[in-house]
Amino acid sequence: MTIDLSSLTIAKTQKHLSEKDFSVRELAESYLASIKKRDGDIHAYIETYDDAVSQAEAVDEALKRGDKASALAGIPIAVKDNILIKGRIASAGSRMLKPYRATYDASVIERLRDAGVIFLGRTNMDEFAMGSSTESSYYGATKNPLDTTRVPGGSSGGSAAAVAMHGALVSLGSDTGGSIRQPAAFCGLVGLKPTYGAVSRFGLIAMASSLDQIGPIAKTVEDAELLFNTMAFHDTRDSTSAASQMKKQSAVQRNKKPIIGVPRDLMEGDGIDDDVRKNFEDSLQILKEEGYEVRDIALPYAPYALAVYYIIMPAEVSSNLARFDGLRYGFSEKGDTLLAGYVETRGVGFGAEARRRILLGSYVLSSGYVDAYYRKADIVRASITQDFARAFEAVDIIATPTTPSPAFKIGEKISNPLSMYLSDIFTVPANIAGIPALSVPSGSVVRDGVSLPLGMQFMAPHFGEQALFSAGKDFEKILSARM
């Protein structure tokens, strides 16, 4: 049979495989053919793996033997370029790590490999995950498959574009301030940022260690849930991995539909498109009509989250990227002196956005300024976290738009960092507070004659992912029934 990649989900794929409509090899070959056909224009991938077909054949053999198969056996997946796969280059979209080949698997890769997924290749990303458009990659920009004049979002833009162009069934991204949810929204997909500590960061090239989380990008909430459930475990190799008993905590369960809170504080700022506001209000009205209770809530400190983020994140960036000095591994430029070698290596090896954030981070951590900036930001971070904790005493889920606008034009914001940073206004608070957040498609708006998707973001208390999946799947069904 001809494989219709556009209609596949994980459940549908497993049904086809069990009924022998096609083999895992045929499925992998179909995705590789789709990549070959479309990726020359989109540039979702930096590299496809030459052993993808042999991986698929191994799964086919296991299925023929009758080996017990997981729900992910044979599922083709794309992996962001900052997640380590043993023997594969992982460059984090940077010249600095262009020659680096991983010596071990990230924990999430081990889990997925054991589950029998097929790794198709590594996807493009903003350099060291610093960006909201996938334009700052050393390898060049990625385009949005729905409108190639526009960005796919970032920093996991390649991972989102790969799924949107049917170049992978699902993908992995990382989210530091919205880098899974924003590209998912721009590409009409589902994206999950798990609770901080729910998914191991072992084997993730660090950007900002107190904010980074690995998560899935998929077509449906169910697919994202399957990936999350496979990847979430307590990993002793990651000191920030949460213990199992902590993960048992979840949103308060009631015998009725969850109560949804809406933080109007975050909706009052400038820079939010009118049609995004309308789409969000329309979505809330639909939920009300379906029996959900929607309440306005106060998050007094949440409007400061973006400012806090752009102090804490660069500070951690400057510390994490200090290891790339041209001496131990990665890109290296020689100089007449040791200092000259450092300057040449870091000046050439890092792109403009990475250098900007290193400088900002070094400044806020410098003597005389660390109290005024970094420590004050850390205090406000605690207040933002407390805001969410208080809000979740009254509501089960908090909803906002995922982004303040649909996908913007390539080149539109790259020369205006402040404008680019504002695209994270709704996603950053979840990272600051460490809570889980899910972006689900909520409709579309028309720009230049093209229908562009929008996303609705649901946030839950720490380790409340299951509440997000339940609400997200319900929202999907409601919208599907009304189309």
Backbone φ and ψ of 313, nearest 5°: -60, -50
Are 226 and 179 in contact by the 8 Å Cβ rule? The answer is no
Mutual orientation of helices 52-65 and 24-42 as an angle, nearest 10°? 160
Residue 366 a catalytic site member = no
Phi, psi of 83 (to 5 degrees): -110, 125
H runs (alpha helix) in 290-367: 305-320, 338-349, 352-364
CA of 104: how far to CAs of 51, 87, 90, 108, 365, in Å?
17, 7, 11, 12, 32
* Residue 327, number of CB atoms within 10 A of its CB: 12
The single-letter code of the amino acid at 341 is G
Partnered with residue 293 across adjacent β-strands are 259
Instruction: Name the active-site residue from 80, 143, 193, 219.
Output: 80
Catalytic residue at 451? no
Nearest to 425 by CA among 452, 451, 457: 457
Rounded CA-CA distance 446/453 in Å is 9
- The residues near 369 (Cβ < 8 Å, ≥ 6 apart) are 363
| Burial classification of residue 417, based on how many CB atoms lie within 10 Å of its CB (0-12 exposed, 13-18 middle, 19 or more buried) | middle
| Residue in 91, 132, 133, 155 annotated catalytic | 155
Catalytic residue, candidates 94, 107, 179, 442:
179
> Maximum CA pair distance of the chain?
71
Closest alpha carbon to 309 in 419, 196, 228, 430: 430
User: Helices 107-115 and 221-231, interaxial angle, to 10°?
Assistant: 110
Annotated catalytic residue 179: yes
Do 197 and 435 meet the contact criterion of CB atoms below 8 Å apart?
A: no
In 10 A of CB 257, how many CB atoms? 16
- Say which DSSP state 84 is in: -
Please check whether residue 77 is in contact with residue 121, taking contact to mean a CB–CB distance below 8 angstroms. no
Distances (CA, A) of 207 to 4, 82, 126, 133, 320: 37, 10, 11, 16, 7
How far apart CA 131 and CA 349 sit, in angstroms, is 17
CB 176 within 8 A of CB 129: yes
Active site residues: 80, 155, 179
